Structure 1
Amino acid sequence: MGAARKQSVKFDARMFEDVPVLQRTWRAALKPGETLPRYEDVLLGSLGRLADHMVLLKCENDAFAVSRTGRYAQEWLGDERWDIPMDALRPDCATVLSEAAANAIANNRPYLTAADCVRNGMVRTYDVLALPTFARWGGTLVGAYVNERGAEYNLLDAIFSTTDDGVISLSTIRDATGRPFDFQVVHYNQAAVRLLNVAERSLLWQRLSNGGHLLCSQAVVGRLRAAVKDDQGDRFEIDSDDRTLRLAITAFGGILSLVISDVTSLKRRDASFRLLFDSNPMPMWALDCETMAFVRVNDAAVQHYGYACETFLRMKVHEIWPKEEWLSYTQALRDIGDTYQSEHHWRHVKADGTEICVLTFGRRIMLEGREGYLVAVVDITERRKAEARIAHMALHDGLTNLPNRALHQERLGEALESGNAAGKRVAVLCIDLDLFKNVNDSFGHPMGDCLLKQVADRLRSRVASNNLAARLGGDEFGIILADDTSPKQASDFAAGLISMLSEPYEIDGNQVVIGASIGIALSPGDGTSSEELMRNADMALYRAKQDGRGTQRFFEREMDHQVQRRRELELDLRRAFANGEFELHYQPLVDVALDKISGFEALLRWLHPEKGMISPAEFIPVAEDIGLIVTLGEWVLRQACNEAVKWPSEIKVAVNLSPAQFRSRNLVQLVISALANSGLSPKRLELEITESVFLAETEANLAILHQLRELGVSISLDDFGTGYSSLSYLRSFPFDKIKIDRSFVKDLAKRSDSVAIVRAISGLGRSLNITTTAEGVETTEQLDWLRAEGCNEVQGFLFSGAKPAAEVEQLLRRFGARASRAA
């Protein structure tokens, strides 16, 4: 090994040239079109002195084996044998050879790496270059070049010289009786020189009795003597010049090893920790890991929990836990790692028995040589209460404190999941209060809110077990009957609710009476999901309200079909306006005395491209519901004015107005614009309204009517006699015309009461100087009755149905000719 070492040192000067030479040789041997050069061209006959440094590896079944080795390589491997497997070599050599060879083959090029090998505490670094080749007889061969990179060094010396701790070895000097009385420095590292703050040359072979540094103090020498005498270690700290040094003594007979550590920063941190612990406003304590006893508590913990400090320090941590949590909390504490932050709250009990919710933050620490936990506590009791209140508010109605729509849907989903799995029916009841709007309008919203609270109390009193009552919004409530419910049980329950909710309410000395309509849907027949069941119950409620208040209806499939048709009609209606599918037809208004046309009523018609003509009675209510009626009404008004201006100057045009157009608040401006753009005289425009215009915001709507009258436009009251208080409307506004509803005209020849009503309306018109127009005249007999009763104007199929604008001129000519013949 010594000869090989000399040879290695001899080659050191040229070592840096060997690797480039071998790489160039490999590249020169690589022929075009080949991925690897031949073994013979690289590793045979041309290596010279480098052959001593080569290890030839062959690859068989994805494993390497040593085929040949040079003399230097044999000394590095510690093995002179050839044709041996890789696992027969030293592990450090085998690892680096396998790594280099594998990478060289994977990349089809030379691969250079370095290896650190430790022999007898000495570290040597070697360069290893792997050269992949192929043999003519088949297979892959790798030649690995090995050479030492530089001088060796002692591993232990390197460790000692680079550590931050000072290391000093001391030899014991004994007196004549064999007792230790002095010590001599026999070894040290640079860190010891720095920590003791002495000159390096003065430290080696120095006796401690000569003084000059911290180790020479009587206190330290005494601890050293005791360590030698007892043949055991020691550990202690000394302070000097604002520094704290920790000394660890290990005795080996008469030799002492002394490790010196600067713990100044640790001591300062410990002092800071103590200050932070004791003065921290957050409750903190330290526990013994084994006994779970409190070993330290700060003032904040004493004040917050109400135990005296002495009492705290006699307690174990489980004494501040609720008894039912002892087992689970103990296990949770045992499972804590080095640090801990609670994800869920812990329950703690204060000295007065009050329970609080806390979050804890902790870590393992050493406490006077024992393992412990340092714990900080955050009291979240009030926060939890606030969160609970917020969570409750998120799922409950703020006025009635009933569950809201979100919680209703959540509980319904749970009930359906359980019911569907068990084959049980779940019933959903949608409840709408009848006449509630009247209470708000008559008594104000505060009274309405009080009423809703009392309704909620009554509903709450009727639900039990797994059932739920909720406020879904406004005056709409919902009930879930989660137990297996039959249709009869649901019907009986609904009937009881209607009866209970219809009983009078006493509010602020007023007796209030309302009612309720209920729609019912049952799973699984009416739906298996919460969305489907609620939608169907809502449709049943809509039918109950249509069929008369104070009633209940079960969902029927036909209701869904009607809703689908309604939705389809809405979509078609929106497209129809955009596509220009609407048109105006005009029905003549005939002057009874002159037997001639005095005007035309503009009537909206919808010609659907697939379904044909759709009745206004079908699509006008839908247009009002979806808000399209205002846009349609504007189009009708402008179109009618544009058409009427083409007629003779004495012919008027009548246009129907919707209550929605009054709510838009731009009706007067719209009429002015339509008249101005068309050039039609205001006296030729007649606007027809129904009494529904007066049902809401009466004062505002009356103001609009007066503004329209001031323009010169005539105002007609349509469907007179069919409402609740038509006579009061005649007092509210001076109408130009009242139209007698067709329901009275139809039975003139059959019912005397119809004759009496027509006679009364005609007489009223004459008295108030208001024109009366009868609608729906279909027979000459009806016409004769109306003429006899003094009716001024008529319209109906007896004269003509509504016709397109192109046929208006023909109607005018026909009636003109008829009037001439009558004259």
Structure 2
Amino acid sequence: MRDPVEPDGFSPTRASTRVETEFDDVRLVLRRWQAACVDGALPPYEELALGSVGRFADEMAVVRIAADREGFILRAGPRFGALAGLAEPAVSLSALPFALQRAVAGAIDLSRLAAKPRLTLCRSIVDGMVSTVEVLALPLSCRWPGEYFLIFARPRKAQVDLARLLINSTDEGIMALSALETASGEARDYQILSMNDAAARLLGVSAEAMRYHLLSETCAAQRLTDLLDRCGEARAHGVAAPSLELEYELDGEAISLQVGVAETEGLLAVTLTDIREIRNREMLFRSLFDDNPVPMYVRRADGGAFLNVNAAALNLYGRSRAEFLALSIGKLVPGTADRPAVSGERFVRHRTATGADLDVVEYARAITVGGQPAMLSTIVDITERKRAEERVSFLAHHDPLTGVGNRTTFSQEIEDAVATAVAGHQPFTLVLIDLDDFKAVNDTLGHAAGDSLLIETAARIRRLLRRTDLVARLGGDEFAVLLRGALGRNDVETLARRIIQTISEPHGYEGHRLSIGASLGAAMAPVDAREAGALLKCADLALYRSKRDGKGAFHFFEPEMDVEMRERRALELELRSADFDRELELHYQPIISLRSGGLRGFEALVRWRNPRRGMVSPAEFIPLAEETGMIEAIGRWVLDEACRRAASWPDDLIIAVNASAVQFRQGQFAETIRVAIDMSGLDPSRLEIEITESVLLADTGANLALLQQLREIGVRVALDDFGTGYSSMSYLRRFPFSRLKIDRSFVRDIGSSRESMAIVRAIIGLGANLGIDTTAEGVETGAQLELLRQERCGEIQGFLFSPPVDSVGAARIIETYRNGESKVA
């Protein structure tokens, strides 16, 4: 193995990372340099230059590098001088030929950096042959100023034929031929003067063996000779040589060549280009084009003429191949003239044979067809995608059910409108709409009926508005209308009344006549507020007033509404912080049996004695408790207190407790009742839970399951305010209620209203037929009492006997009835 010299080598053309010397005696020089190194120090100049390597002095030069990095040859041997072409033995390095100068300088720089000998190669060309000279730099130490190096230079024996190197470096076959002519001047054969390795490989011969032989001795002789003869004929007639292609078999393999011919003074330079890969690519392209499921077509690069089209494109555009190729680009892309095609991606609208428009993305790139520039277009039909995107964009700004604006759009529009109004340009009015009784329809007939009603409601509102106005659905059964322009209060109120009237008109759905109402509240900008949030709050306060006043109402915002709302918030805070045991108390209204004339029990009614406000009406704080979720805590307190108090009464008296719809729907209601009964020791049969018809509207299955739980506990269940709600009569058949309570609104008018009397009579009769007792509320006169007795009503309540009283008053009533001092005659 040769010892390498690793100079990270340098040559005039490129650096080598590892160069090895091919001379054994140079390795001897390297070993002597290494032996002269003592304790890691460089060998002294005198010892090495004048001593151990003296026999190599003819091929060496001594170089000193001055402080300014300029190099000088102090002494050069005759062979080095001859190699470098030196006229005198001592000269500057810059006097050396350029290639040798660069090689010496490179070896010195690498040697200085490594503090070791380093080798570079210097190559030059003489008579077409590449010669290589090894240049070795050995660093030395010296007592004189500067850096010293021994430079060894010796040419390598081997030379490279540059022309052959170049000609054999290509995969393209190259031949030099001499035509052998007959006496008539016609070429019959061709002598091979030279060929490269690629040509020999393509023709299946040896390059050296075929030198000076005849072309006819190759396997492709006849076809190639014919091609060369055709070129000769073309030249003789002064026309350009045709494009030549040569096909033949070599060892069972098909060969396809492109042949190029150039003539100089009777010599032919022939190039052979292997086009098999190109042919394969063309075949692959045709396959990918023709069979591609993606529509594609090819057109001339300089205009709109179509050159080819695949089946997928014909199917997309609904045309035959002949029809498509005869099209102008303007027929495919309306409004486009025949102009040069452009590479790249573009969105464009194409037209089919039926006249339908397609939204497409066209990806075009330049290709060559038959030697001529063309453009290949790949078509992606995005019609459906674009429609989907438009749908997504629509849904981003519109309510998907009704098609009117959504909350996002409304928020953006009202922000812009407020900014414009505050700037003094365009005042506007905001109207909030809340549907009355919508939940009852939705719960009784299902969400499909509710959706149909919402769609119809939105359409009715839209028909009443101007094009400049905006209607939006904010969610559920809430709508908002933005009325642009300076409308007067009378105009807004007239429109609001028309909206209420229009919404209240019945809507038909699958044989049902759906009827709802609407409550409206309005605020005007910038009069009522100068910010979007504040304006919404004002309109919401007006809407709250309308809903509180009853169905089908409309109100403008008034400043006192804000005061009222703040008062309501304050009441809410006080309710949240209330000490139930000290502030809440139960009042009891007696329930009288008409059959026995005796006391049947009491209905427990909660009261709030606020430390600051005094007694607060249940009509004020119970709805507030339901809205805030506090009704559950209040309901637990009422149950615990009512059961505890009733446990001290005689065993034949019942206690009736009202249950809120919120309590009834929360999952722990049955457990709350069970705990109250267990803690008080009350017989469950003495507790009667009163629920309104509205409680039963939400979830039939869940309602029946909870009613069944109450039945298993043993408590009684009464249906309060019967006849005023929307519950299904099927509940009366599917669950055995203990009582039906007739609402006081019917009892109040039984002496003056035939309709009220008929309703009371029907409820009592229904209860009797189902085996359910009936209780009439709000009995205040003897006439009412007599009519109810005649109709065989079971029980009664009302001020005629006693208003609700505290626990002490209840104890007196119990004592009075027990002593026989009071009895309904």
TM above 0.5: yes
Offset at residue 290 of structure 1 (A): 1.8
| Residues 424-459 of structure 1, C-alpha deviations (whole Å, 9 max, x = no match) | 445443322344456667888776655544433333
Partner of 2:714: 711
The worse-fitting range, judged by mean Cα deviation, of 367-376 and 564-573 is 564-573
* In 2, Cα distance between equivalents of 1:561 and 1:92: 98
Offset at residue 21 of structure 1 (A): 8.0
Confirm or deny: 8 A CA contact 1:231 1:253 kept in the other structure.
no
Offset at residue 373 of structure 1 (A): 0.9
Tell me if 1:348 matches 2:377: no
Partner of 1:205: 212
Instruction: Find the residue that maps to 1:550 and give its secondary structure.
Output: coil
Offset at residue 293 of structure 1 (A): 1.9
Partner of 1:517: 519
Partner of 2:176: 169
Partner of 1:469: 471
Amino acid of the structure 2 residue aligned with 1:284: M
Partner of 1:284: 296
Offset at residue 367 of structure 1 (A): 1.1
Tell me if 1:190 matches 2:200: no
Instruction: Find the residue that maps to 2:302 and give its secondary structure.
Output: coil
* In 2, Cα distance between equivalents of 1:448 and 1:145: 103
Confirm or deny: 8 A CA contact 1:186 1:205 kept in the other structure.
yes
Partner of 1:783: none
* In 2, Cα distance between equivalents of 1:232 and 1:153: 38
Amino acid of the structure 2 residue aligned with 1:491: V
- Which runs of no fewer than 5 residues in structure 1 stay unpaired? 30-40, 60-64, 745-754, 775-785, 801-810
Q: Within 5 Å, which residues of 2 pair with 1:362-511?
A: 362-381=364-383, 384-385=386-387, 388=390, 392=394, 396-397=398-399, 400-405=402-407, 408=410, 424-425=426-427, 427-437=429-439, 451-481=453-483, 483-485=484-486, 488=489, 491=492, 494-495=495-496, 497-498=498-499, 501=502, 504-505=505-506, 507=508
* In 1, Cα distance between equivalents of 2:689 and 2:225: 120
| Residues 651-707 of structure 1, C-alpha deviations (whole Å, 9 max, x = no match) | 986644223344458756654554346533336546566686688899978994997
Partner of 1:238: 246
* In 2, Cα distance between equivalents of 1:206 and 1:711: 122
Confirm or deny: 8 A CA contact 1:588 1:799 kept in the other structure.
no
* Number of residue equivalences: 734
Shift in alpha-carbon separation, 1:558–1:251, aligned structure 2, 3 A: farther
Q: Within 5 Å, which residues of 2 pair with 1:561-580?
A: none
2:271 to 232, 247, 259: 259
Structure with greater proportional helix content = 1
Instruction: Find the residue that maps to 2:168 and give its secondary structure.
Output: helix
* In 1, Cα distance between equivalents of 2:235 and 2:620: 113
Confirm or deny: 8 A CA contact 1:588 1:599 kept in the other structure.
no
Offset at residue 217 of structure 1 (A): 4.0
Offset at residue 316 of structure 1 (A): 3.8
Q: Within 5 Å, which residues of 2 pair with 1:327-342?
A: 333-334=341-342, 336=343, 340=344, 342=345
Offset at residue 240 of structure 1 (A): 0.9
| Residues 431-490 of structure 1, C-alpha deviations (whole Å, 9 max, x = no match) | 223444566678887766555444333333334444333444444333334x45466498
Confirm or deny: 8 A CA contact 2:329 2:337 kept in the other structure.
no
| Residues 320-375 of structure 1, C-alpha deviations (whole Å, 9 max, x = no match) | 2111x559xx68x42x2xxx4x463x212344544333333433211111111122
Shift in alpha-carbon separation, 1:675–1:292, aligned structure 2, 3 A: same
| Residues 190-228 of structure 1, C-alpha deviations (whole Å, 9 max, x = no match) | 222211111344222222245554477431331453587
* In 1, Cα distance between equivalents of 2:219 and 2:708: 115
Confirm or deny: 8 A CA contact 1:185 1:205 kept in the other structure.
yes
Shift in alpha-carbon separation, 1:615–1:149, aligned structure 2, 3 A: farther
Offset at residue 306 of structure 1 (A): 5.5
Shift in alpha-carbon separation, 1:701–1:115, aligned structure 2, 3 A: same
Amino acid of the structure 2 residue aligned with 1:711: G
Shift in alpha-carbon separation, 1:231–1:387, aligned structure 2, 3 A: closer
Amino acid of the structure 2 residue aligned with 1:369: G
Confirm or deny: 8 A CA contact 1:181 1:225 kept in the other structure.
no
Amino acid of the structure 2 residue aligned with 1:374: L
| Residues 800-821 of structure 1, C-alpha deviations (whole Å, 9 max, x = no match) | 8xxxxxxxxxx999x99xx99x
Q: Within 5 Å, which residues of 2 pair with 1:34-183?
A: 66=70, 119-120=124-125, 122=130, 157-173=164-180, 182-183=189-190
* In 1, Cα distance between equivalents of 2:632 and 2:407: 33
* In 2, Cα distance between equivalents of 1:389 and 1:430: 27
Shift in alpha-carbon separation, 1:99–1:275, aligned structure 2, 3 A: farther
Confirm or deny: 8 A CA contact 1:231 1:252 kept in the other structure.
no
Instruction: Find the residue that maps to 1:358 and give its secondary structure.
Output: strand
Confirm or deny: 8 A CA contact 1:58 1:142 kept in the other structure.
no
Amino acid of the structure 1 residue aligned with 2:334: P
Amino acid of the structure 1 residue aligned with 2:714: L
Partner of 2:307: 295
Instruction: Find the residue that maps to 1:199 and give its secondary structure.
Output: coil
Confirm or deny: 8 A CA contact 1:232 1:251 kept in the other structure.
no
TM-score by length of 1: 0.66
* In 2, Cα distance between equivalents of 1:611 and 1:13: 120
- Which runs of no fewer than 5 residues in structure 2 stay unpaired? 1-11, 13-19, 593-598, 722-740, 747-755
Q: Within 5 Å, which residues of 2 pair with 1:366-765?
A: 366-381=368-383, 384-385=386-387, 388=390, 392=394, 396-397=398-399, 400-405=402-407, 408=410, 424-425=426-427, 427-437=429-439, 451-481=453-483, 483-485=484-486, 488=489, 491=492, 494-495=495-496, 497-498=498-499, 501=502, 504-505=505-506, 507=508, 514-521=516-523, 537-554=539-556, 586-587=585-586, 601=604, 603=606, 620-627=622-629, 629-630=631-632, 633-634=635-636, 636-638=638-640, 641=643, 655-663=657-665, 671-672=673-674, 674-676=676-678, 678-682=680-684, 685=687, 687=689, 704=707, 711=714, 722-723=744-745, 727=760, 756=781, 760=784
Confirm or deny: 8 A CA contact 2:764 2:791 kept in the other structure.
no
Superposed CA RMSD: 6.6
2:262 to 250, 257, 260: 250
Amino acid of the structure 2 residue aligned with 1:164: D
Confirm or deny: 8 A CA contact 1:126 1:147 kept in the other structure.
yes
1:270 to 282, 297, 305: 282
Confirm or deny: 8 A CA contact 2:231 2:261 kept in the other structure.
yes
* In 2, Cα distance between equivalents of 1:652 and 1:619: 26
Shift in alpha-carbon separation, 1:529–1:203, aligned structure 2, 3 A: farther
TM-score by length of 2: 0.65
| Residues 597-646 of structure 1, C-alpha deviations (whole Å, 9 max, x = no match) | x98958587999x9999997665434423555346534653576468768
The worse-fitting range, judged by mean Cα deviation, of 672-681 and 148-157 is 148-157
Confirm or deny: 8 A CA contact 2:168 2:198 kept in the other structure.
yes
* In 2, Cα distance between equivalents of 1:518 and 1:91: 100
Confirm or deny: 8 A CA contact 2:585 2:608 kept in the other structure.
no
Offset at residue 239 of structure 1 (A): 1.0
Offset at residue 296 of structure 1 (A): 2.7
Confirm or deny: 8 A CA contact 1:717 1:737 kept in the other structure.
no
Instruction: Find the residue that maps to 1:461 and give its secondary structure.
Output: helix
Shift in alpha-carbon separation, 1:642–1:721, aligned structure 2, 3 A: closer
Shift in alpha-carbon separation, 1:511–1:351, aligned structure 2, 3 A: closer
| Residues 92-146 of structure 1, C-alpha deviations (whole Å, 9 max, x = no match) | 88998999899x7xxxx88999989775485969999999x9xx99xx9999999
